[in-house]
Amino acid sequence: MVSRARSKPDSSSGPIVVGVDGCKGGWFAVSRDLSSGRIQAKLFPRFEGIMNEWMPVIIAVDIPVGLSSDEKPRGCDKQARATLGARGVSVFSAPNRQALTASDYADACARNRAATANAQAPENGRAISQQAFHLIKKIKEVDAFVRDVAHARIRIFEVHPELSFMALRNQYQAQEAGGLALSKHAPPGRAVRLALLQQAFGGDVDHVLDDRTVRTSRQASRDDLLDAFAALWSAQRIHDQSAIALRDTLARDEHGIEMAIHY
């Protein structure tokens, strides 16, 4: 599935940033050439295809990047929930690295409990949510890419769409604490998010959403598309060094990968 929208007729020539959301068919990505303004949207079966297609300077993806291997949970997850307030329920705790090799949900929970158990209170080990388990394959895919591909660590950043939408609202509408009041799963909440993206990207959003291959695809939902655009907006902010990063001080995992959520 490929769709294109051009803010200007120029061919791509400048640095490219990308927003990515996981979807049924793999990864839905929206790119923007920062010189020409050209926007492209494409579905990729594999995450590595995004880098091969566009060679972006920034990839902002809604997936955990950097994983804890001990009893201490990722501080960025806790900070994201606190920042979003009531909408913080949309932020799940990332699984520990040990859970990535699990064979099923029960095994993943057992591995995560063992990894997070405190020596003084081993019964306090944490299981993982069903949502986290269903994303383990995608988490493993991005984790391997970040660890193994040269320069990936300075190009790939974790984002969360609800944080992006919160920042969009605060920029284009009114400064408020917490995330958006309405859920994206209900039509009114979806309409609010679309309106914010239209303010940020103009007609490019509608061009992509109205593309026939996008509208009829069963591999990516409308929510996936909106979240990818929200991630793209944060990718631009990361490139401009205006993004906010939620992190613990010097929080890196055992492979030296930063554990932070940007928006």
pLDDT digits (tens, 9 = 90+) for 38-80: 999 999 999 999 999 999 999 999 999 999 999 999 999 999 9
Domain-embedded: residue 149: yes
Mean pLDDT of 106-132: 90
Tell me the sheet residues that pair with 33: 16
Quote the CA–CA distance of 206 and 210 in Å, as a whole number. Answer: 6
The one-character DSSP state at 92 is: P
Domain membership flag for residue 107: no
Q: Is residue 132 part of a domain?
A: no
Q: Is residue 178 part of a domain?
A: yes
In this predicted structure, what is the pLDDT of residue 120? 65
Q: Answer whether residue 119 shows pLDDT above 60.
A: yes
Q: Is 256 helix (H, G, I), strand (E, B) or coil?
A: coil
Does residue 121 lie within any of the structural domains? no
Q: What is the mean pLDDT of residues 142-168?
A: 97
Furthest-apart CA pair in the chain: how many Å?
64
Q: How far is CA 213 from the centre of its chain?
A: 23
pLDDT band at 5 (very low <50, low <70, confident <90, very high): very low
pLDDT at 4: 47
Instruction: Please indicate, yes or no, if residue 220 is contained in any of the structural domains.
Output: yes
Answer for the pair 169, 200: CB distance below 8 angstroms, yes or no: no
Q: Which residues, in sequence order, are bridge partners of residue 95? A: none
DSSP type of residue 159: B
Q: Measured between alpha carbons, how far is 138 from 144 in angstroms, rounded to an integer?
A: 10
Predicted pLDDT at 89:
95
* Residue 123, domain member (yes or no): no
CATH at 73:
3.30.420
**pTM, full prediction:** 0.92
Q: CB 118: neighbour CB atoms within 10 A?
A: 12
- Residue 11 reports pLDDT greater than 90: no
Residue 37 lies in a domain: yes
The yes-or-no verdict on residue 8 having pLDDT over 90 is no
Most confident of 69-73, 121-125, 145-149, 174-178: 145-149
- pLDDT, tens digit (0-9, with 9 covering 90-100), for 200-244: 999 999 999 888 877 778 899 999 999 999 999 999 999 999 999
Predicted confidence at residue 138, as pLDDT, reads: 98
What pLDDT is stored for residue 214 in this prediction? 79
- Domain housing 212: 13-91+140-262
Structural domain count, the chain: 1
